[in-house]
Amino acid sequence: MTRKVSIILPARNEAAGLAQLLPELSNKYPDAEIIVVDDGSTDDTTALCQQHHVRLLRQMYGMGNGAAIKSGARSARGDVLVFMDADGQHDPGDIERLLAKLDEGFDMVVGARDRVSHANLGRWWANALYNRFASWIVGHAISDLTSGFRVAVADKFKELLHLLPNGFSYPTSITMAFFRAGYFVTYVPVQTRQRLGTSHIRPLRDGIRFLIIIFKIGTLYAPLKIFLPVSFAFFLTGSAYYAYTYMAYSRFTNMSALLFIIAVIVFLIGLISEQVTTLVYGQKVK
């Protein structure tokens, strides 16, 4: 590795996974900085980190996966950041393939899971839905929006830390933020291994949160893509209702006027949001 690499592992009660993962990482990447961010664990995480001589960052209490990622990224000394789940699902051998793509000039490389690698068919369909919606928002193909296995150029990742939530939806936010910033993102197919320990993700609760995050990111980075279809829907509804009332009663009703006004207001809100986004984002991202 020609650049200094920091491998960041957010962990909350993932001792079983760390017991397998830390020796693999230490053997394969002896020169890499390995950081375990303990997000309020009550198991043997601390002892394992001391045993394998890796850096341990301890959060005073559980703040979430995204908060652990941000703590690890701020503390990392490497030029390249590698993010992996601490549950043993990600194969350390795949890191080299992701780093090779980064050396081609990309700013972030994501390990994209295939259908077999998802916990169940429902998870795969949900992720496919997220991918399609997010691809439409950012205007680029997104193969795996929620993958926690990725490598990124450190300074560009840290530049966008203020946009990341504290929960499990950090991969969603950082992926869309990189695209909006004009950075180059690509995907490398990976297969995950069997998870060790118990998953902290709740499909219904966290699935709804992912969708909310996508909408929030969409209105933050591409407001017109959200507001314009809504405005158009109100306009079409108003036009259809006006056509009906004109043919049936030969008059223009208050409801038609209200629908047209709402369409104009929603469009103007989207237009103003687009301008504000351009100004604010241009000031924050250099």
Closest to 54 in 3D by CA, of 86, 94, 101, 95: 86
Considering only CA atoms, give the Rg of the chain.
Answer: 23
Q: Residue 195 gets which letter from DSSP?
A: P
Taking a C-beta distance cutoff of 8 angstroms, is the pair 108, 153 a contact? yes
Mean predicted confidence (pLDDT) in 253-281: 89
Taking a C-beta distance cutoff of 8 angstroms, is the pair 176, 139 a contact? no
- How far is the C-alpha of 228 from the C-alpha of 215, rounded, in Å? 14
For 30-86, write each residue's pLDDT tens digit. 999 999 999 988 888 889 998 988 999 998 888 888 999 999 999 999 999 999 999
Residues found in the chain: 286
Q: Residue 260 gets which letter from DSSP?
A: H
Domain boundaries, the chain: 5-220, 223-284
For 32-42, write each residue's pLDDT tens digit. 999 999 998 88
Closest to 71 in 3D by CA, of 85, 93, 56: 56
Mutual angle of helices 170-180 and 65-75, in 10-degree steps: 60
Phi, psi (5° rounding) for residue 231?
-60, -45
Coil, strand, or helix at residue 202? Answer: coil
- Checking if the pLDDT of 202 tops 70, the result is no
Q: Give the range among 97-111, 171-185, 256-270 with minimum mean pLDDT.
A: 171-185
- How far is the C-alpha of 45 from the C-alpha of 17, rounded, in Å? 10
Residue the block writes with tokens 């469009």? 267
Amino acid identity of residue 133, one-letter, is F
Between these two residues, 163 and 15, which has the higher pLDDT value? 15
- How far is the C-alpha of 204 from the C-alpha of 125, rounded, in Å? 13
Secondary element (H or E) of residue 152 = strand 150-153
pLDDT above 90 covers a percentage of the chain that reads: 48
Coil, strand, or helix at residue 187? Answer: strand
Q: Within 13 Å of residue 269, how many CA atoms lie on the same side as its CB?
A: 14
Amino acid identity of residue 239, one-letter, is S
At residue 6, the pLDDT reads 96
Q: Residue 224 gets which letter from DSSP?
A: H
Taking a C-beta distance cutoff of 8 angstroms, is the pair 150, 110 a contact? yes
Average pLDDT, the chain: 86
For 137-149, write each residue's pLDDT tens digit. 888 888 888 898 9
Between these two residues, 225 and 265, which has the higher pLDDT value? 265
At residue 286, the pLDDT reads 47
The span from the first CA to the last CA of the chain, in angstroms, equals 27
- How far is the C-alpha of 257 from the C-alpha of 284, rounded, in Å? 40
- How far is the C-alpha of 40 from the C-alpha of 137, rounded, in Å? 35
* CATH 3.40.50.300 holds for 5-220: no
- Cα dist. 89→112, 213, 232, 274 in Å? 13, 24, 44, 39
- How far is the C-alpha of 52 from the C-alpha of 57, rounded, in Å? 14
Coil, strand, or helix at residue 249? Answer: helix
